[in-house]
A and B are shown apart, each in its own frame.
Chain A
Amino acid sequence: MSVAVREPGAVIESEPIRSRRGIVWETIRRRPSAAIGSAILLVIVLGALLAPWLAPYDLHKQVGPVFGHPSWSHPLGLDDGGIDMVTLLMWGARVSLVVGFAATFVSMVIGGTIGVAAGYFGGKTDTTLMRITDYFLVIPDVPLMIVVAAIWGPSLFHIIIVIGILLWTSTARVIRAQVKSVRERVYVKRARSLGASHTRIVFRHVLPQVAPLLIANTVLTIAVAIFDETALAFLGLGDPSRISLGKMIENAFQRAAISTGAWWAIVPPGLLVAVIILSCSLVGGALEDALNPRLRVAHLSARSFRLRPLVGRGREAV
């Protein structure tokens, strides 16, 4: 059956950036939302990373009264233990981010592997793996975390594992869909017909196509992971020996920060969590947009084409 001659446009060179390397970098450079998000994240991560050296005060030393008011020496006041809030924020962010990244890593590894396997092999493998994914999707997060915390004990490690186990499902689905479509691309079939091994095809042809989406998905998952950790800590299920942002909020809440009017003990950590999540969403969302052409809706615009005055090139004989 004959197929329409493709019209790639008169200019062969102007293909979308999808085919060029470094789409992640390109997106960050070009889209304001991604740029802003990345910048904010960078600042926060650096601040958290360098907490041991940058934090103005000692984490465990009381430097003033409980819920001390913000002052010049303590811009964000003191918490329920009289510890400097700014110091706490930096250390708390550290823990939250560690949990967020680690849990995301776990989920990415599990979800990516399952997604690739299901999408690439199809058939029974696909059905089985997706069935497993469905089971995990159905499990309610918080009750599971409560149970695990009760049985295993609430340590940072356990929290990371729990969050990771709950988050891989969406990654698996997204990756599976993408792998399925890449697998049908002609150049993959060509590699198969040449006799390339599955390993080669997956690593050489499939993963590079899937990587940008995986990165986008990862960034978005980090947002969720951090939120989950915050929620867990807030519910008292977090690691009691570590201060995370969620724990800070929980502490303040427990010690009646609100009724005392000590907003500086609750609002900053909450705000910081929100900002982290927002930044991740900005970057992840921008990446997803850039990668998925179907999300482009320019053709649905209500605007019409524009008219220009006739350029006088001279009449031709009609």
Chain B
Amino acid sequence: MSLLEIQDLHVWFDLEHGGELHAVQGVSLSVDPGERLGLVGESGCGKTTTALAAMGLLPPNASAAGRIMLDGEDILAGGEETIRPHRWVDLAIVFQGAMNALNPVRTVGSQIVEAIELHGRAKGPAARTQTGELLESVGIPAKRAERFPHELSGGMRQRAAIAMALSCNPKVLIADEPTTALDVMVQAQILELLDALCRDFGLALILVTHDLPVVAQLCDLGAVMYAGEIVERATVDALYHSPGHPYTRLLFAATPDLGSNGEVVSIPGAPPRLDLELRGCPFQPRCDRAFGPCTTIHPGLKTIGAGHAAACHLNDLPAIAAP
């Protein structure tokens, strides 16, 4: 039984003029302590919504279904009531753009102290000591706690945001595009930090991003999302070397790489609208290997190997459907 297991999660958003957007359609994934899972997809695929749902931070116009099992207990079952005790204490999130969301009129240190005190972990001097230790563990010299966010560089602010998320010693950290707004050198520093946190403290990490190479370098497992669904889930090695879904393969092919000078492709078309019921495979209109059943039968996520699942009819073909 995993530390965190999301089972068959669905999220709908009420639309302004009536109707619903089915943003997350039956997503299941899990992480164990020390594991890093990369949740990959392009804009609108539902990865951020999934992350927010796991934290119970969906807006009032959203409705959700499914199970979020934390240490065997379904924390989604009672909505806000059951999730709140675990928020920040067991599950924490670094939001997209968190480095720009720090309170500008309070010092960095005081914001972390506040988080610690609010969750009853420590008070006063003890909280301040913990804050200092926390900042050191993310690579910020403790004396910088007296600084205001605007006095810190982008990389430092991101570390501060990570420190805040870790202030209550959570078991699972969800990081939504933690390095997207950062320079490549600072990105490397942050990724190194996340790597160390997982290794040394057994933190489970769910990295939500559109950046495949980042996932390839930092994560062990990857889940590729498209149109609200997980279309493939495997080790990152398998995702690159033996992808079971054309979207995974094409997404890698669309990413330029320093290592190779091969053709970089683009995928024609656009993702489907999620406010309409879909028939068949959501990727079919853009797929280069679509055939018969793809237009009418929705491919479910099926195991195609050890720890490898993909949602594609091609995997059912007896002959070698080589990617």
Instruction: Using CB atoms and an 8 Å cutoff, list the residues of chain A in contact with chain B.
Output: 1-14, 298-299, 301, 303-311, 313-318
Residue of chain B at shortest CB distance from A12: B270
Known interface pairs A4-B177, A299-B59; A316-B65 also in contact (CB < 8 Å): no
- Per the 8 Å Cβ criterion, residues 275-307 of B in contact with A are 275, 300-303
Which residues of the other chain, A, contact B192 by a CB distance below 8 angstroms?
A: none
Listed by A's residue number, 12 A-B pairs whose Cβ atoms lie within 8 Å are: A1-B154, A1-B181, A305-B59, A305-B60, A305-B62, A305-B64, A308-B63, A310-B67, A311-B10, A316-B8, A316-B301, A317-B302
Which residues of the other chain, A, contact B80 by a CB distance below 8 angstroms?
A: 304-305
Tally of A-B Cβ pairs under 8 angstroms: 113
A298 to B60, Cβ gap below 8 A?
A: yes
Does B141 touch A at the CB level, under 8 Å?
no
Known interface pairs A313-B8, A316-B8; A307-B182 also in contact (CB < 8 Å): no
A310 CA to B28 CA, complexed, in Å = 13
Q: Which of A305, A308, A314 contacts B58 (CB 8 A)?
A: A305
Residue of chain A at shortest CB distance from B81: A304
* Distance between A193 CB and nearest chain B CB, rounded to angstroms: 25
B7 to A306, Cβ gap below 8 A?
A: no
Residue of chain A at shortest CB distance from B183: A1
* Distance between B175 CB and nearest chain A CB, rounded to angstroms: 13
B65 to A8, Cβ gap below 8 A?
A: no
Beyond A1-B183, A5-B43, 13 additional contacts (C-beta under 8 Å) are: A1-B182, A2-B184, A9-B44, A10-B271, A10-B272, A11-B273, A304-B56, A305-B60, A308-B10, A308-B65, A309-B65, A310-B8, A310-B67
Residue of chain B at shortest CB distance from A316: B301
Residue of chain B at shortest CB distance from A1: B183
Residue of chain B at shortest CB distance from A8: B43
What sequence of 0s and 1s flags, for each residue 1-26 of chain B, a beta carbon within 8 Å of any chain A beta carbon?
00001011010100110000101001
* Distance between A286 CB and nearest chain B CB, rounded to angstroms: 16
Q: Which of A1, A298, A307 contacts B59 (CB 8 A)?
A: A298
A316 to B300, Cβ gap below 8 A?
A: yes
Q: Which of A298, A309, A310 contacts B61 (CB 8 A)?
A: A298
Which residues of the other chain, B, contact A317 by a CB distance below 8 angstroms?
A: 301-303, 309
Residue of chain A at shortest CB distance from B186: A1
Which residues of the other chain, A, contact B65 by a CB distance below 8 angstroms?
A: 307-311
A5 CA to B96 CA, complexed, in Å = 11
* Distance between A310 CB and nearest chain B CB, rounded to angstroms: 5
Does B210 touch A at the CB level, under 8 Å?
yes
Which residues of the other chain, B, contact A309 by a CB distance below 8 angstroms?
A: 65
B63 to A305, Cβ gap below 8 A?
A: yes
Does B34 touch A at the CB level, under 8 Å?
no
Which residues of the other chain, B, contact A299 by a CB distance below 8 angstroms?
A: 59
A314 CA to B25 CA, complexed, in Å = 12
Which residues of the other chain, B, contact A5 by a CB distance below 8 angstroms?
A: 42-43, 177, 180, 210
B180 to A3, Cβ gap below 8 A?
A: yes
Residue of chain A at shortest CB distance from B6: A318
A301 CA to B275 CA, complexed, in Å = 24
A308 CA to B275 CA, complexed, in Å = 18
Residue of chain A at shortest CB distance from B9: A310
B59 to A2, Cβ gap below 8 A?
A: no
Which residues of the other chain, A, contact B130 by a CB distance below 8 angstroms?
A: none
A4 to B181, Cβ gap below 8 A?
A: yes
Which residues of the other chain, B, contact A12 by a CB distance below 8 angstroms?
A: 270
Residue of chain A at shortest CB distance from B209: A5
Does B227 touch A at the CB level, under 8 Å?
yes
A11 CA to B210 CA, complexed, in Å = 18
* Distance between B56 CB and nearest chain A CB, rounded to angstroms: 8
* Distance between B122 CB and nearest chain A CB, rounded to angstroms: 29
* Distance between B155 CB and nearest chain A CB, rounded to angstroms: 11
Q: Which of A10, A301, A306 contacts B44 (CB 8 A)?
A: A10
What sequence of 0s and 1s flags, for each residue 170-184 of chain B, a beta carbon within 8 Å of any chain A beta carbon?
000000010011111
A5 CA to B10 CA, complexed, in Å = 24
Residue of chain A at shortest CB distance from B180: A4
Which residues of the other chain, B, contact A7 by a CB distance below 8 angstroms?
A: 43-44, 48
Which residues of the other chain, A, contact B42 by a CB distance below 8 angstroms?
A: 5
Does B97 touch A at the CB level, under 8 Å?
yes
A1 CA to B62 CA, complexed, in Å = 33
Known interface pairs A7-B48, A9-B44, A310-B8; A316-B180 also in contact (CB < 8 Å): no
* Distance between B91 CB and nearest chain A CB, rounded to angstroms: 16
* Distance between A296 CB and nearest chain B CB, rounded to angstroms: 11
Q: Which of B56, B60, B79, B80 has the most CB of A within 10 A?
A: B60
Which residues of the other chain, B, contact A318 by a CB distance below 8 angstroms?
A: 5, 7, 28-30
Residue of chain A at shortest CB distance from B304: A317
Q: Which of A2, A4, A304, A315 contacts B97 (CB 8 A)?
A: A4
Residue of chain B at shortest CB distance from A301: B60
Does B66 touch A at the CB level, under 8 Å?
yes
* Distance between A301 CB and nearest chain B CB, rounded to angstroms: 5
Q: Which of B59, B274, B301 has the most CB of A within 10 A?
A: B59
A303 CA to B23 CA, complexed, in Å = 20
